Each structure stands twice: as C-alpha cells, then as structure tokens.
C-alpha cells in the first residue's frame, strides 16, 4: 500500500470516527439534558476534557504514543482559546434564539475561509465556494427557524465565531508547524482547556440556567449517562483534532453540518422529534452541497498530486541531463588530450 493510499484510508477513518462519535454524544447529551434535566453543558464539557486527558495519560503510560513537548506558550494559548470558544458558543446559545444560534454556526465556514485567505494566502476555487454556498443554504433551510436579534447575543455570537475559527485554524497550523500528531497536541492542550471550563463552567451554567451544578440531585441514571457521555467524548475530541490535522478547518465544518443533518434525522427516527418538509428539503440540498464539495476536493487533490509528480519527474530528468552532460564533458576532455612525445632536453644531448 502506497503512502497516498494510507493517507486516504486514514482520512476516511478519521471522518467516519468523527461522525459516529459526534452523533452518538449528541443523542446521549440530548437524553441527559432534555429527559433527565441535567442542563449544565459547560461543566459537562470540562468533565469531558478531564476524562480525555486521563485517557491519553493512560495511553502514554502504555506507550501507545510518544510525548513530544514543544512551545509551551503556544500550547497554553491554544488550550485557553479553545476553552473560551466553547464557553462563548454556549453563551451564544443561551442568549439567542435557536435559529440565530444556527446562523452563528453557519457563519463559521465563511469566516474561516476569509481568515485563511487573508492571513495564510490560501485560495479557494470557484467550485469549492459554490459547493460551500449550496451546503450553507441547505443547512440554513433545515435548521434556521426563527431569528430574534439582541445586542448582547449578537456580540457573543461574533466573538464565538471568531474564537472558534482561530482555534480550528491553529489546530491545523500547530500540527504542521511543530510536526506533532493530533494525539500529542490534544494531550498537551487538554489540561488548559479543561481548567478554563472547569473554573468558568459552573458560573456560566448558573448564568444560563439559574441552577447550581453542585446542588443538582445526581441519580444513578444521571451518573450513568454522564459517564457514557464522558467516554464517548474521548473519541469525539480525538477525532476532531485528527480530522482538522489531516484535512482542514473548512472540511471539519462541512463534516459538522453533515452531523447536524444526521442528528435531525436520528432525532426524528429514534426520539420522534417534530420534522417538516422544510427540514427534509434543506437536508437534501445540504447533502448535494457536501457531495459537490467532496468531489471538488478530490479533483483538486488529484490535480495537485499530478503536478507534484510532474515536478518530480522534471527534476529527475534535469538531474540525469546534468549527469550526462558532465560525463560527456569529461569524456570530451579526456578524448581531447593528445599524448605528448617525450621531449629531449638539448642540455642532456650535449652532456651525452
């Protein structure tokens, strides 16, 4: 199996793991929050990250991956920024309508494209932009119902979008810049993310729900769902870093909207959530956008691979030409050397 085939297989595995784990944790958390009344999402996320760090520490102890320390300041800033973005997204959901929150999530893709174009000189083709537009229109039709605006909620949404975009771009750039794997980056940044949310989580949850997480009645059923949610979160966090590292922040957001469509479908089938023709129509449009985006990405990757192979072949040809010319030049010089006859010195003749 070639290196490109291994990379493609690993990418498909990462995407599949991300979809399955994310849909699973959404269904689990929905039962935990809606059915059992545990509505402390930010605190729950901090527990997710703590469990993820402990799991990775056990994996490190078992030598399943190698610890690779790098720039401590970059790790700390990245971890805190990730924690802040999660908190801002939760605040955005709390202070806005569900429809406006969905619009906030939709805005992450164009904002990411804008930031990567401005600061990283990354170019997105017309076909990619067209596919993303179809996707966003479809997800918007399927999820956005009401748009109630307020100043505080709008400010929180803008901050949530900016911090989320920067955090996801950093996830990709840090892995490439410091040559660390997704597991190594997640292991080192998890404590900072967890502590940021662990300190601010109870206050944010009290602000959003007017309830105290420490005064909640933890029944065995609630504890079981919390443990299950934390276990699934290990796969969610790992696959998130893996997908962004192997693909790009934009592809991860496209995958996130696929998860949204799947969650809507599973909610209708399993939990009998209300479903309308508008949801069905929007999901179908979004799926068309995802298919077009996947096709355009694969087409561009094939073009890049062919360009790289062409450049390598040209480089090899130029090297071989240089070697041939050097050899020919040596032969010509050696051929051009005329053997000289022995020259007798006149002095020696006289002496003789």
pLDDT in tens, 260-286: 888 777 777 766 667 778 888 888 898
The CA distance from 249 to 174, in Å, is 12
CA quadruple 208, 209, 214, 218: dihedral positive or negative?
A: negative
Structure tokens, 22: 């994310």
51 class by beta-carbon count within 10 Å (0-12 exposed, 13-18 middle, 19+ buried): buried
User: pLDDT tens across 2-25, in order?
Assistant: 666 777 787 888 888 888 898 888
- Choose among 14, 16, 83: nearest CA to 53: 83
Res 342: pLDDT: 45
Rounded to an integer, what distance in angstroms lies between the CA atom of residue 129 and that of residue 110? 9
Greatest extent of the chain over all pairs of C-alpha atoms, in Å: 125
Q: Which two tokens stand for residue 105?
A: 């999530």
Decide if 164 contacts 110 (C-beta within 8 A): no
List all residues 6 or more positions away from 55 whose beta carbon is below 8 Å from its beta carbon.
234
Whole-angstrom distance, CA of residue 186 vs CA of residue 174: 11
Neighbours of 338 (CB within 10 A): 6
Count CB atoms within 10 A of the CB of residue 191. 17
SS3 216: coil
Cα 10 to Cα 88, 149, 254: the distances in Å are 32, 42, 18
Q: What is the pLDDT along the chain (352 residues), one digit of tens a residue?
A: 666 677 778 788 888 888 889 888 888 988 898 888 899 999 999 999 999 999 999 999 998 889 999 899 999 999 999 999 999 998 888 888 777 788 888 899 999 999 999 988 888 889 999 999 999 998 888 887 766 767 888 899 999 999 999 999 999 999 999 999 989 999 999 999 999 999 999 999 999 889 999 999 999 999 999 999 999 999 999 988 888 888 888 888 888 888 888 877 777 776 666 777 888 888 889 889 988 988 888 888 778 777 766 776 676 666 666 555 655 554 444 444 444 444 444 343 333 3
Q: Looking at residue 317, what is its pLDDT?
A: 66
Cα–Cα distance between 162 and 200 in angstroms, integer?
Answer: 20
In this prediction, residue 51 carries a pLDDT of 95
Q: Which of 287, 162, 172, 295 is nearest to 240 (CA)?
A: 172
CB-based burial, 123-156: b 16+ in 10 Å, e otherwise: ebeeebeebbebbbbbbbbbbbeeeeeeeebeeb
Closest CA to 135 of 106, 104, 162: 106
Question: Any idea which residue has 């010319």 for tokens?
Answer: 325
* pLDDT reported for residue 336: 47
pLDDT of residue 322: 57
State how far the Cα of 38 lies from the Cα of 222, in Å rounded to an integer. 8
Token duo for residue 227: 């443990």
- 261: region left, alpha or beta (phi > 0 left; psi from -120 to 50 alpha): alpha
Alpha carbons 265 and 31: distance in angstroms, whole number: 16
Task: Say how far apart CA 177 and CA 75 lie, in whole Å.
Answer: 13
User: How far apart are the C-alpha atoms of 339 and 46, rounded to whole Å?
Assistant: 86
Q: Is residue 264 within 8 Å of residue 257, measured between CB atoms? A: no
């Amino acid at each position: 199996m070639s290196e490109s085939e291994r990379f493609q297989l690993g990418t498909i595995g990462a995407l599949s793991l991300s979809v399955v784990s994310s849909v699973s944790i959404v269904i689990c958390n929905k039962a935990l929050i809606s059915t059992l009344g545990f509505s402390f999402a930010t605190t729950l996320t901090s527990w997710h990250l703590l469990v993820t760090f402990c799991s990775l520490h056990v994996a490190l102890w078992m030598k399943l991956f190698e610890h690779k320390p790098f720039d401590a300041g970059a790790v700390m800033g990245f971890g805190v920024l990730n924690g802040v973005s999660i908190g801002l997204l939760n605040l955005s959901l709390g202070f806005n309508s569900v429809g406006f929150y969905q619009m906030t999530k939709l805005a992450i893709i164009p904002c990411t494209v804008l930031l990567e174009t401005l600061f990283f000189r990354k170019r997105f083709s017309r076909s990619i932009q067209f596919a993303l537009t179809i996707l966003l229109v479809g997800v918007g039709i399927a999820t956005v119902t009401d748009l109630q605006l307020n100043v505080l909620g709008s400010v929180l949404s803008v901050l949530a979008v900016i911090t989320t975009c920067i955090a996801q771009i950093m996830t990709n750039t840090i892995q490439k810049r410091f040559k660390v794997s997704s597991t190594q980056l997640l292991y080192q940044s998890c404590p900072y993310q967890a502590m940021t949310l662990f300190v601010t989580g109870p206050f944010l949850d009290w602000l959003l729900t007017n309830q105290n997480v420490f005064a909640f009645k933890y029944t065995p059923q609630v504890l079981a769902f919390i443990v299950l949610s934390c276990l699934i979160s290990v796969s969610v966090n790992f696959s998130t870093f893996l997908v962004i590292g192997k693909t790009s922040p934009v592809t991860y957001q496209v995958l996130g909207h696929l998860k949204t469509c799947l969650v809507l479908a599973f909610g209708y089938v399993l939990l009998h959530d209300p479903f309308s023709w508008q949801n069905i129509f929007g999901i179908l449009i979004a799926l068309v956008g995802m298919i077009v985006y996947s096709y355009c990405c694969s087409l561009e990757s094939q073009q890049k691979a062919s360009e790289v192979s062409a450049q390598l072949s040209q480089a090899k040809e130029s090297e071989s030409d240089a070697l041939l010319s050097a050899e020919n030049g040596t032969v010509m010089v050696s051929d051009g050397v005329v053997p000289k006859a022995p020259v007798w010195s006149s002095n020696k003749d006289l002496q003789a």
